[in-house]
Structure 1
Amino acid sequence: MRKLKLILFLAVILGTISFIVVSPSKGGNAAEDWNYLFNGKNLEGWVVKVHHHELGDNYANTFRVSDGNIQINYDDYEVFDERFAHLFYNESFSSYHLKFEYRFTEQWLEDAPVYTYRNSGVMFHSQAPKTILKDQNWPISVEYQILADEGNGVPRPTGNMCSPGTEVIYNNEIDPRHCITSSSKTYKWNQWVSGELVVYGDSLVTHLVNGEEVLQYSKPQIGGGVADGFDPAIKIDGKLLKEGYIGLQSEGQGIEFREIKIKKLDYSIRH
């Protein structure tokens, strides 16, 4: 009997230790640690940068709030004219879990590059918006690329990685591709899809789609091409990206975002 009691006592102690090690609150995972970046009412806390325009110029009301969603809308455009744009949250983040939901709209400007059709993205570990030059097309950043079905029966995964002015380690080496395709399914353009990013500073990055892990890579760093018109002093190739800004992308395709929230994580738990 005493032996049984001892076993039960040890089981309780070990269970408590296990809880302490993996307790969600230790990793910043408690429900109360989630903070909404978008208040559902207006763009307070966000700043716009449009290619060919000064920081803060929300050309033609590209980014707006409609029915409680952030909407990228081209109603007031006559032509796209390479007005690649980004809506940045005004705080830099390092290690965090980001969640958001998105769906495409029917809008697409035909003078936009053909690859932008049902294509958008969420930039992260981006350079500070105030350092993006007027005629810089894309921020030096990493992108959670968002794609949807084009209606031709060809698989088109979402939650991919693209790298304007950056590079990542994939399969134990720097991957030369601008975009790395995820393992996600193809989703209809007009359905709400849940995207997630789990980022540990300059260490590990994980992409999730509708709760399923679809891509993982490490050591995001400055390098590579694609981004143009930047300040050369900002692009220090090989510099690891430990933190940066989060931005919603506009490339000529209409899209809506909602439920944008973030939870800061403890980088030390990853090491």
Structure 2
Amino acid sequence: MKITFLSVLAASTIFLACATKTNTTSTAGKPKAIQLFNGKDIKNWTPKIRLHETGDNYANTFRVEDGLLKVRYDGYDEFNQQYGHLAYNTPYSYYLLRLEYRFVDEQTKGGEDWAWRNSGAMLHGQDPKTMLKDQDFPISIEGQLLGGNGTDARTTSNLCTPGTNVVIQEKLFTPHCLSSTSKTYHGDQWVTADFLVLGDSIIQHILDGQVVLEYNKPQVGGGSVENYDPNQKPDGKLLDSGFIYLQSESHPIDFRKVELYDLSPYKNQKATLEKVLSTLLNEKTRL
């Protein structure tokens, strides 16, 4: 699926033309990055860890040290499927999300085999305040982050769908996960992952300037989520906005950048949106 990012504009022309007009004035210049992680603390974030109430950062799972947002498990005796998610407190709809991450150290005791060097960015997620104590994952679209073992191929920026479905090539896609076409990123190297989210229209996963996965019409539905409030799962409802989460699934991970470019001012301006995306996605990340 080697699609160029500009194909999203052609595919979403009707969506752009029919979008509600915005009062925000935009320019052809690059929008300013919103730093979701400020390098100092997680005061603008809300943790939700399975078996614990919303807001309880159990065992200091999510912490800031050395200017990095770290996920750690030194306070766990056993992981015990205590899947954790850290939600940014402002929901977004139409944006480019950029992460810089790396997997480090060893997986904590009790983590499942599949969770080795496994984390994720949850997109269009439900409000963390609506998650139940024993709920395992937020109803959301997951950009799955995976690391390699030094030998075998293992793609990253994959798709997983806890409580959701998507449409791919005009067909409803209902399996839980789908691999991207990315290369494997081995070891503790820093990886930059972009996620282009245009409301309930199109979502693209982008690595090294290449679209490695694309789908559209994200919507509530399907399974792979447990112990949720049924009122939060109206199957078939399109997801046009939601909360962004970072995940903890038993393997330590660092994030040194979590930034967002709000694209909503360009929603009705196809040509300007194309220029903005071209600028943002052709920039070389300085590592």
Scaled to the shorter chain, the TM-score interval is 0.7 to 0.9
Q: Secondary structure at the match of 1:54?
A: coil
Picking from 163, 186, 203, the partner of 1:165 is 163
Shift of 1:154: 2.4
1:230 and 2:215 are equivalent in the alignment: no
Distance 1:29 1:136 in 2: 43
Partner of 1:191: 189
CA offsets 1:183-208 (integer angstroms, 9 cap, x no match): 11000130000000111100010111
Q: Structure 1 residues 105 and 213 mapped into 2: Cα distance closer, same or farther (>3 Å)? A: same
In the alignment, does 2:78 pair up with 1:74?
no
Deviation digits for residues 71-103 of structure 1, max 9, x if unmatched?
Answer: 001111111111100011000000001111000
Counterpart selection for 1:202 from 200, 203, 209: 200
User: What's 2:101 paired with?
Assistant: 102
Give the alignment of 1:203-218 within 5 angstroms: 203-218=201-216
Alignment of 1:1-271 (within 5 A): 30-151=29-150, 153-266=151-264, 267-269=267-269
CA contact (8 A) 1:136 1:230 kept: yes
Deviations 1:38-78 (A, max 9, x none): 11011120110000100110000000011111000111111
- Alpha-carbon distance, 1:113 to partner: 1.4
Q: Is the 8 A contact 1:125 1:142 kept in 2?
A: yes
Q: In 2, Cα distance between the equivalents of 1:79 and 1:28?
A: 51
Q: Is the 8 A contact 2:77 2:109 kept in 1?
A: no
Q: Which amino acid in 2 is paired with 1:185?
A: K
TM-score, normalising length: structure 2: 0.82
Amino acid at match of 2:206: L
| Rounded Cα–Cα distance in structure 1 between residues aligned with 2:53 and 2:72 | 19
Q: Hey, what's the Cα distance between the residues in 2 that align with 1:257 and 1:243?
A: 23
1:28·1:265 contact (CA, 8 Å) conserved in 2? Answer: no
Structure 1, unaligned stretches of length 5 or more? 1-24
Q: Cα–Cα, structure 1 residues 27 and 154, in superposed 2: closer, same or farther, change >3 Å? A: farther
Contact 1:95–1:199 (Cα < 8 Å) also in 2: yes
Structure 2 counterpart of 1:172, which letter?
Answer: E
CA distance in 2 between partners of 1:29 and 1:190 (Å)? 37
Q: Is the 8 A contact 2:139 2:164 kept in 1?
A: yes
TM-score, normalised relative to structure 1: 0.87
Quote the Cα distance in structure 1 between the aligned partners of 2:43 and 2:232.
27
Aligned AA for 1:231? D
Aligned residue pairs total 246
- Report the AA paired with residue 268 of structure 1: N
Letter of the structure 2 residue corresponding to residue 181 of structure 1? S
Supply the distance in 2 between the matched residues of 1:28 and 1:84 (Cα, whole angstroms).
Answer: 41
**Looking at CA atoms only, which structure, 1 or 2, has the larger radius of gyration?**
1
> AA paired with 2:145?
I
Q: Alpha-carbon deviation of 1:268?
A: 3.2
Deviations 1:203-250 (A, max 9, x none): 010111133211110000000100000000110110000100000000
Please give the secondary structure, in 2, of the residue aligned with 1:220.
Answer: strand
How far off is 1:27 after superposition? 7.0
Superposed CA RMSD: 1.8
Q: CA contact under 8 A between 1:94 and 1:201: conserved in structure 2?
A: yes
Q: Is the 8 A contact 1:222 1:239 kept in 2?
A: yes
Structure 2 partner of 1:7: none
Alpha-carbon distance in structure 1 between the residues aligned to 2:220 and 2:27: 28
